[in-house]
Structure 1
Amino acid sequence: MKTVWIDPGHGGKDPGAVGIGVLEKDVVLNISLGVKKRLEAEYEGVKVQLSRSTDVFLELRERTDAANKAGADLLVSIHCNAGGGAGGFESFRYTGASAASRSLQNVLHTEIMALLKPFNVRDRGQKAANLHMVRESKMPAVLTENLFIDVASDASKLKRKDVIDALIAGHVLGIAKYLGLKKKEEKPVSNLNRDIHVVSSWAASAWEEMTKNGYVDGSRPGAPVTREENAVMMNRLRKNLLQLIAGNREQLAEMEKRLQAIEAAEITK
């Protein structure tokens, strides 16, 4: 089981960057909760822990101490940027980062930017800095700066669900790729509320015809089909096809005899 530590920056009395109708603490918590939900729902063998899951304030030391104590396999601290300019996305590792942290940053940055490209987000690059969250973490650690709160074009994007979804998906894909996580197999979802004894309107005519031709017995049209039931239907179809082929052969043989008789009669004339 891999443990991923997600750190939503700021919170509580610390709003982080305050921009054009958005607060950094709210945006990064939204992204972080989405990363946890998707990563655990879509991949096997992974547990996601958060520094905070609500709007509370935590000191930086509290965050890294908790991550180190949990023995997390990696840490991603999620933030939004400020300071004006052209806006964009960038990521940070520690100035003395390990090779593992460099690898995590490269994979994470690449996956996030790939999903932000359709939204014309500027790539500000992969950077290094003496930041507490990446310096004091004992595991591979990266801090992401997800657009600029105080740049109008970026702020408007951060209000869009599709952009937030892209940021979430980019973080998820980067983390999964770095850890080599395996995707869960999708399980078919059945409608538990339907009456299995009533045929759906869109299938009524086909169900009636299949029943008349003996492929099904006409009962429980809405029930799941077992492999045994599939085998029975396929075998009935096989037998019918063999009979059809045999019947065609007999008809062809009869036609051939008639043609030979006609040819013989023509010769004797």
Structure 2
Amino acid sequence: MPKIFIDPGHGGSDTGAIGNGLLEKDITLFIALEINRLLQNEYEGVSVQLSRTKDETVSLDERTSRANRWGADLYVAIHVNAGGGTGYEDYIYNRLDDDSPTARIRDVIHEEVVKATGFRDRGKKKANFHVLRETTMPAVLTENGFIDREEDARKLNDTRFLRTVARGHVNGLERALGLQKKRKTTLTRVIVDGTQVGAFAERENVLRQVEHYLGRARQIVLEQVEE
């Protein structure tokens, strides 16, 4: 069961970057919660923890220590950039080789986020950030647009776009970790004289219901749907 630690940057008294009426801490939390929702709803056997699930102050030491104690398989820190640029970039620890397992995971996430968002590709980078240095598992930090760039800020102020950012991360995680999609359940609705009287996954239950109404109904309709 893959264990993924999602770290929405900043929070509480630490707002992170500020620009165009937006706060980095709010954007990162929204993206992280959406990543968690997608992983939990769509994939089999994935365990997720977040460094925070609300607007609260969490120290860097606490974030990495919690991930290390839990034994996470991957640490993903979500951030938003500032400084007048535009686009997407991501980071791994600066002492890692370009062909390391962490770099390979980062490369896939990078590709999927750029593809999903259409952000300008600012490249794959390395840094001596605390969350990359002090984690005992592969760790990637993503920078999703520039909050002080009007063009990027318009996107970051749109919840539909933030869901797209989250989807890009999840698509990358699926490929990088080999995550398996949950199987959809096919239900057969039994509709008797225009009224649904049941919906069943098992063929035997469908037949039993049909037999129950057979001879007494004017019309019996079976309709398959995916749940």
TM range, smaller chain: 0.7 to 0.9
Query: How has the CA–CA distance of structure 1 residues 224 and 172 changed in structure 2, closer, same or farther, with 3 Å as cutoff?
Result: same
The letter for the 2-side match of 1:199 is G
CA distance in 1, matches of 2:78, 2:219: 52
- Between Structure 1 and Structure 2, the one with more strand by share is 2
RMSD: 2.0
CA distance in 2, matches of 1:58, 1:198: 59
The letter for the 1-side match of 2:45 is G
CA deviations 1:157-206 (Å, max 9, x no partner) are 11123321211111101111111111111124678xxx944416xxxxxx
The answer on 1:199 being equivalent to 2:199 is no
Deviation at 1:21, TM superposition (A): 1.8
Q: Give TM-score, length-normalised by structure 1.
A: 0.71
- The SS at the match of 1:127 is strand
- The SS at the match of 1:31 is helix
Query: How has the CA–CA distance of structure 1 residues 196 and 122 changed in structure 2, closer, same or farther, with 3 Å as cutoff?
Result: same
What are the equivalent positions in structure 2 for 1:214-233 lying under 5 Å apart? 217=215, 218=217, 221=220
Contact 2:92-2:126 at 8 Å conserved across structures: yes
CA deviations 1:128-183 (Å, max 9, x no partner) are 01101111111010000010111000000111233212111111011111111111
- The SS at the match of 1:110 is helix
CA distance in 2, matches of 1:153, 1:136: 34
Runs of 4 or more consecutive aligned structure 1 residues displaced over 2 Å after TM superposition: 188-191, 195-198, 216-225
Q: Give TM-score, length-normalised by structure 2.
A: 0.83
Corresponding position of 1:167: 165
The answer on 1:52 being equivalent to 2:52 is yes
Corresponding position of 2:89: 90
What are the equivalent positions in structure 2 for 1:100-249 lying under 5 Å apart? 100-117=101-118, 121-188=119-186, 196-199=191-194, 217=215, 218=217, 221=220
Deviation at 1:220, TM superposition (A): 7.1
The letter for the 1-side match of 2:158 is R
Deviation at 1:219, TM superposition (A): 5.8
CA distance in 1, matches of 2:28, 2:150: 18
Query: How has the CA–CA distance of structure 1 residues 12 and 219 changed in structure 2, closer, same or farther, with 3 Å as cutoff?
Result: farther
Query: How has the CA–CA distance of structure 1 residues 56 and 196 changed in structure 2, closer, same or farther, with 3 Å as cutoff?
Result: same
Aligned residues: 203
- The SS at the match of 2:111 is helix
- The SS at the match of 2:72 is coil
The letter for the 2-side match of 1:112 is V
CA deviations 1:70-129 (Å, max 9, x no partner) are 0000000000000113x1110000001261110111011011111112xxx211110001
- Between Structure 1 and Structure 2, the one with more helix by share is 1
Structure 1 unaligned runs (5+)? 201-215, 226-269
CA distance in 2, matches of 1:189, 1:66: 41
Structure 2 unaligned runs (5+)? 196-213
CA distance in 1, matches of 2:75, 2:135: 7
Contact 2:188-2:222 at 8 Å conserved across structures: no
Contact 2:29-2:54 at 8 Å conserved across structures: yes
Query: How has the CA–CA distance of structure 1 residues 198 and 159 changed in structure 2, closer, same or farther, with 3 Å as cutoff?
Result: farther
